[in-house]
Amino acid sequence: NRHPTSSSRLNMAPKGELSAGLLEAYMARFDLSKSQVLAQKRAFDLLDQDGNGKITFEEVKAMNNSTDQPMSVEELRTEFSTLDVDGDCTVTFLEWLKVYVKGEFGRDVSIHIHDLDTVQVHDLDASAPRPRAHSELAPIDESVTVMKLSSKNSASYYVRVARQFLEGTEEKQAVEELAINALGHAIPLASAVAHALVEEKLAKVTSVMTGLQEIPGAGRHCPVLVVRVSKSSAS
C-alpha cells in the first residue's frame, strides 16, 4: 500500500488550520511532531476539495484524473479502502493519521477518541466567556493546588479527585483553585475533566496554558496542557 503522502503528485499546499488544542491532541495521541501533523493536514486538505473535513472517493478520483499518470479505478479503490478505516465511504483526518503512522512507523493507534474535539478549549463552556489561552507555560502560583493527570487512569477517576479538591473532605479543606496538568497522551483527559467540572457547575475555566516540555534523554519535547479552574460560586 502506498503511503498517503508518498506520491510526488501531491502538491503540499496549505488549505486549513487546526486549533492549537486539537493540534496538540493529535501530536500526543499519535506521538508526532507539530511539523509532521501539519504536513499531513496539508496533504489531507489537498484531497478534501469541498473542505468539509472528509475525503470521498469522488474527490480522490477527481485528483487522480488530473495527474499525468492516473491510477486505474481498481487501484484507486484499493488505495481508498486502505484509508477508509471504518468503512463508511469517507476518510477523516483521524483515519488519515492512523494509516500514516501505521505505514511510516509501524504503530497501530486506536482512533476511537471522540474526546479529541474537546481539547479545543473554547468548547469547554460555550455559555461562558472564552478563557485566556497562552502559547507558553508560565510558572503556576505555588498557592494553587496542582492535579497531575496520567493516561493510566480514567477521566471519571480524575473528576472524582477534582471534586474532592473543590468540595473538600473530612480530612482536607476545599480549595478555591485547581490546576489540571496533563502531559502527552493524558491531554484529552484534562479537557474531559475540565468539561465535566463545568457541566456539574463545580468550577469554571479561568485559563488554559499550553507548551512543550523536554523529555530528558529522549531528544524531543512532549506537549503539555494546563487547565486552571476556580470553584464556582454555585457550588
Question: Per residue in 199-233, pLDDT tens?
Answer: 889 999 888 887 776 666 666 667 788 888 999 87
Tell me the pLDDT band of 133, cut-offs 50, 70 and 90. Answer: very low
What confidence score (pLDDT) does residue 218 get?
60
| Average of per-residue pLDDT across 33-62 | 87
What confidence score (pLDDT) does residue 144 get?
83
Count CB neighbours of 188 within 10 A: 25
Residue 15 confidence (pLDDT) above 60: no
What confidence score (pLDDT) does residue 165 get?
92
Question: Per residue in 157-170, pLDDT tens?
Answer: 899 999 999 999 88
Q: Are strands 132-134 and 203-215 parallel, antiparallel or unpaired?
A: parallel
What confidence score (pLDDT) does residue 111 get?
67
What confidence score (pLDDT) does residue 115 get?
37
Please give the Cα distance from 192 to 190 (Å, whole number): 5
Please give the Cα distance from 198 to 123 (Å, whole number): 11
What confidence score (pLDDT) does residue 85 get?
83
Cβ atoms of residues 208 and 225 within 8 Å: yes
Between 136 and 111, name the one with better pLDDT: 111
Please give the Cα distance from 156 to 13 (Å, whole number): 41
Question: What order do you get walking across the sheet with 203-215 strand by strand?
Answer: 132-134, 203-215, 220-231, 177-183, 145-148
pTM: 0.46
Tell me the pLDDT band of 142, cut-offs 50, 70 and 90. Answer: low
8: alpha, beta or left? (left if phi > 0; alpha if psi -120 to 50)? alpha
Please give the Cα distance from 26 to 103 (Å, whole number): 17
